Amino acid sequence: MTTQENTATTKRGDLTSAEREMLQVAAAGDVQEATRLLNSKEVRVNCLDENGMTPLMHAAYKGQADLCRLLLQHGADVNCNEHEYGYTALMFASLSGNAEITWMMLDAGAETDLVNSVGRTAAQMAAFVGQHDCVTVINNFFSRTRLEYYTRPQGLEKEPILPPKLAGPLHKIIMTTNLNPVKMVMMVKENPLLVDVVALEKCYRVMDLLCEQCVKQQDMNEVLAMKMHYISCVLQKCLAFLQERDDKLDALLKSLLKGRDGDGFPQYQEKFIRDCIRKFPYCEATLLHQLVENIAPVEIGNSPTAFSVLTQALTGQMALMDTEFCATCGERGADKKCSFCEMVVYCGQACQRLHWFTHKKVCKALQRQREFQSKDSASVREIPGNADGHDVMEGNCSSLLGLCLGFAELGHSHAFSENYPDPSNAVAEAMSGCQDWGREGHPSS
């Protein structure tokens, strides 16, 4: 069955025995059996169970990507909202936490603004249950169809604004949720089609057109407009370096990664991102005002960085305490530590090699900091507490003080984010807290 039925005429629970089997197979992810059932005349691809769930909803909720793909190929209605509480396939996909299926639903035409019976969208529901990757996918989705519009001549144009061969590589950059400029330059560098002056000129002009379209459309999308503008700025920077005969963009990558003396903070990268935001052409945009208000008062090198503020605004991602980010490209889930200091992580050897030229300047200081923390924490564990606990209290104060001073040795480096306090403030608060605890917990009389 390859045509899409009108689910409005399908009653909940009105199922044949084959359709009941289909619902079970969809949840189980048996592609072979599902293919057999879908090819029979007894199974409607959009049949509804007693709760109003279609086979696609079952497969999406269970995280069965191959089954979802098969059902979509057979005409499953991605926007069916016959569920008793108004849930859609996109909502079930986002609740499952499967980013691949969430993207699949969006690519098939899932509407992001549909709400359930309590007025929540798929992104809001995913955020509520902590599926942040799915939230990011939804917030950053951009249909390739919208980009391919520019690959066809319009009106009196003799040739398209964007050559069709560039649509794929450019769409990949648009869809990335990692806004680190190093990562974007690496994506350009990895594709020979983009490492070309003419190609980059065409790509950044399309980004500017999309930015304008997002602002001037009926439902203005400031977030998407800012992202298109930001990508345009990165592409223009690549173009400028190519024109200066930086054939492989290596000089640009080093400029973005180079840390300042003392703490290794990437000043050039911070200034570049701030400049991108400042150049946003629509001064009346609320998002622009919010970004400026959050970034302008912050001295370069302190937190929050322009990158963290921009990322949170455009993707909804927040720096999580238990999440490691590559020190080079900013990719999440990095797990390769520097073998010397063990304080910086990378997503692979390529990123570690690329970052070493600047990391080696602070590596020894970070190593001393780690060793100090290890020794100090060990000494605290060995302190035998008195009956009144004062020795333990003083040991804990000393440990926290040493930790804060260890951070302060490097200043406000890239290791700090909005989740970490200013070291000097942390010291004062720690000592004050310990003194208060001593007075309240152990009265002198």
Whether the pLDDT of residue 128 is over 80: the answer is: yes
pTM: 0.74
* Residue 389 and residue 441 in contact, taking contact as beta carbons nearer than 8 Å: yes
* Residue 340 and residue 202 in contact, taking contact as beta carbons nearer than 8 Å: no
Of 323 and 105, more confident: 105
**What's the confidence (pLDDT) of residue 215?**
94
| Residue pLDDT, tens place only, 85-110 | 999 999 999 999 999 999 999 999 99
**Taking residues 242-271, what's their average pLDDT?**
93
**Taking residues 71-87, what's their average pLDDT?**
95
Of 274 and 392, more confident: 274
Whether the pLDDT of residue 442 is over 80: the answer is: no
The rounded distance, in Å, linking the Cα atoms of 286 and 222 is 8
**What's the confidence (pLDDT) of residue 400?**
37
* Residue 42 and residue 115 in contact, taking contact as beta carbons nearer than 8 Å: no
**Taking residues 49-74, what's their average pLDDT?**
96
**What's the confidence (pLDDT) of residue 219?**
81
Of 33-37, 106-110, 202-206, 424-428, the one with minimum mean pLDDT is: 424-428
**Taking residues 2-14, what's their average pLDDT?**
61
Domain boundaries, the chain: 7-130, 142-317, 320-359, 363-441
Q: What percent of the chain stands above pLDDT 90?
A: 67
DSSP strand E in 330-381: where? 336-337, 345-346
Beta bridge mates, 325? 332
Fold for domain 7-130? 1.25.40
* Residue 65 and residue 95 in contact, taking contact as beta carbons nearer than 8 Å: no
| Residue pLDDT, tens place only, 258-313 | 999 888 999 999 999 999 999 999 999 999 999 999 999 999 999 999 999 999 99
The rounded distance, in Å, linking the Cα atoms of 63 and 55 is 12
Whether the pLDDT of residue 168 is over 80: the answer is: yes
SS3 content of the chain, % helix, strand, coil (to 5): 55, 0, 40
Q: H/E element holding 81?
A: none
Q: H/E element holding 352?
A: helix 349-359
